[in-house]
Amino acid sequence: MIKCAIDGCDKPKRKRDWCVMHYARWMRHGDPLLTLIDRAANGEARKFIDETVLSYEGDECLPWPFGKNGSGYGSFWHDGEMQIVSRVVCEKANGPPPTHEHEAAHSCGKGHLACCTKGHLSWKTHAENMADLIIHGPRNQREAFQTDRAV
């Protein structure tokens, strides 16, 4: 039996070299080590948004230091569900999206690196967001179709 790649886990390997539990945590939270106890740290994530992200006036990318989804976008529990940080920040900085279909688009092209700088975010349609790939250049074919929509 090949064991899970997580140190100290003796369960059998299933996907991504992880056991079923660690894989499920990664799918749910963007981190195979995140537990329900860690969700208490969500207060730190909210505090980071309120005190750091929303007050940051710089032009450099501000990376999200907490959980990320499988595409690299910052994510956290918000209003009872897992949310993409850039969408929450865009709403706090720019108001609600014009339609439910609008996406939080990154002018820096670094959403996949968990950039959460409010000055880099604006509401765009999916077509507009995909057109930005021409400017930023697709990182690879798979990522060209991944977006920053609500989870």
3-state secondary structure the chain: CCECCCCCCCCECCECCECHHHHHHHHHHCCCCCCCCHHHHHHHHHHHHHHHHCCCCCCCCCECCCCECCCCCEEEEECCEEEEHHHHHHHHHHCCCCCCCCEEEECCCCHHHCECCHHHEEEECHHHHHHHHHHHCCCCCCHHHCCCCCC
Determine, yes or no, domain membership for 63: yes
Determine, yes or no, domain membership for 150: no
The predicted model gives 27-56 an average pLDDT of: 77
Determine, yes or no, domain membership for 151: no
Name the band, by pLDDT with cuts 50, 70 and 90, for residue 139: low
Same domain, 25 and 63: no
Determine, yes or no, domain membership for 21: yes
pLDDT at 43: 75
Task: Tell me which residue range forms the domain holding 6.
Answer: 1-35
Same domain, 22 and 60: no
Number of domains in the chain: 2
Residue 37 has pLDDT above 90, yes or no: no
